Amino acid sequence: MSNQVVEIFEDKCIECGLCVQACPANALTLEGGPVQVNADKCAANGECVEVCPTEALALDNEEDADDKVTEAKTKEELPTELQDYKGVWVFIEQVRNEVAPVSWELLGEGKRLAEDLGVELTGVVLGFDARDIAYEAISYGADKVYLIDDPVVKNYRTQPYTQAFIQLVEKYKPEIILLGATTVGRDLAGAVATKLETGLTADCTVLEVDHATRHLQQTRPAFGGNIMATILCKKHRPQMATVRPRVMEMPKRDNNRKGEIIEENIELDESKIKTKVLKIIEEAKKAAYLDKADIIVAGGRGLGEEKNFKLIEDLANILGGTVGASRAAVDAGWISVEHQVGQTGVTVRPKLYIAVGISGAIQHLVGMERSDTIVAINNDPEAPIFDVATYGVVGDLFKVLPALTEEFRKALG
């Protein structure tokens, strides 16, 4: 028994509390500040050092720590009742039997995870007259599709969808469920995860599996995108995650793929459902389908006033692209919120993203940094947007932008 006490680096502590939980001697406490250790109780086990995500804890004797840690890790095995949970599922979202593209992107990602784990990839389709969707899912990579085809799930409503989903989960026990972080996806995921009392991580940008433990490593930006956090759901199944559209790559479609479609029935009385969808209104002039655009020209605070968005539109029109905007421009009322790109707006992944008068705050970057080519026009050479731009022009946008439009007009017109 050493007299050692764990060392705490206070300014690395993010007060997540994992160490408090991990300490078998209850020697650590969190009281509205960085973690504190009770020297009398600390037995230098080292479990806290191992679980700390920011290396805020340290013990001198590495050897001792390692032994205890291996012990701790083996103790961490999945509870037996959860070891039956196998398989990767993707929720195939449809509105009026049109599938949200994010579902296909997730099939692509899901395939990778399923292969890694050595399990099947399954699509879950809920709808009415939706059999074709099931076939589509197979062509995008699903090995199997659970289909519930019933008027009661024709249009999305929380209650029937949640009930249907849970029915399937309890019967077939998947270890991972992926859903698109769309209006419907988020509505459904929160309800299902709560009823199943399992973990749900939203807006993941990277998904991987740990081969030793089969845990899904769900990485997402935290603290406004300033750091990345990898989230684990160690003692609960299924592990649920949502992913925003355009974050994962669209897989190739193969119409010759074969798969299994299993139809399930749902016992749900329409009269028992307290929500009715009265009407669905498609917006014709919808956000110029920002998330589907190949070329986006986006304007920010640097434009100065509403009428200057005309300059953005001019370039977008010449290029056959779509108009986007930073949150600052939307908040100023210069353009409507459907054009907003960023953390609280839309995530885009075009071939070309031209950012005009946009400084490049992290909340904007997370919405467009996966674009293939990024161009930045800004008169502040220190603007963070230049850190991610493939090409940058430091200058007065009111001179550069019209000149650029003119160049393209000459070249393409």
Of 75 and 286, which CB lies nearer to other proteins in the complex structure? 286
According to DSSP, residue 79 is labeled P
- Residue among 362, 373, 367 nearest 344 (CA): 367
Interatomic CA distance for residues 299 and 313, integer angstroms: 9
Between residues 138 and 404, which has the closer beta carbon with respect to other proteins?
Answer: 404
Q: Are 383 and 400 in contact (CB under 8 A)?
A: no
Distances (CA, A) of 300 to 214, 240, 322: 44, 35, 15
Region of 17-25, 38-46, 83-91, 105-113 interacting with other proteins (CB under 8 A): 17-25
> Which amino acid type is present at position 346?
V
Burial of 270 (0-12, 13-18, 19+ CB in 10 A): exposed
What minimum distance in Å lies between the beta carbon of 218 and other proteins? Answer: 8
Stretch that binds other proteins, among 41-49, 72-80, 263-271, 273-281 (CB under 8 A): 273-281
Q: Among residues 83, 211, 227, 310, which is the contact residue for other proteins, using CB under 8 A?
A: 227
Strand 144-149 relative to strand 216-222, pairing: unpaired
Closer by beta carbon to other proteins, 198 or else 322: 198
What are the structure tokens assigned to 254, written together? Answer: 């193969």
Beta carbon nearer to other proteins, 228 or 262? 228
Q: Which residues 35-94 are close enough to bind other proteins by CB under 8 A?
A: 53-54
Residues 182-221 that bind other proteins (CB under 8 A): 182-184, 186-187, 189-191, 193-195, 197-203, 217-218, 221
Residue 324 is a binding residue for other proteins (CB under 8 A): no
Judged by CB under 8 A, does residue 25 bind other proteins? no
277 binds other proteins (CB under 8 A): yes
Using DSSP, state whether 144 is helix, strand or coil.
strand
Cβ nearer to other proteins, comparing 258 with 276: 276
Q: How far is the CB of 412 from other proteins (least distance, A)?
A: 5
- Residue list 386-405, contact with other proteins (CB under 8 A): 386-396, 399-400, 403-404
Question: Is position 295 an interface residue for other proteins (rule: CB under 8 A)?
Answer: yes
Q: Is 262 in the site for other proteins (CB under 8 A)?
A: no
Give yes or no for residue 155 binding other proteins (CB under 8 A).
yes
- The smaller minimum CB distance to other proteins, of residues 133 and 138, is found at 133
Burial class from Cβ neighbours inside 10 Å (0-12, 13-18, 19+) for residue 406 reads middle
- The least distance separating other proteins from the CB of residue 210, rounded to whole angstroms, comes to 9
CA 213 vs CA 60, 76, 136: distances in Å: 28, 9, 32
Collect all residues with Cβ–Cβ distance below 8 Å to 292 and sequence separation of at least 6: 101
Classify 214 as helix, strand or coil.
coil
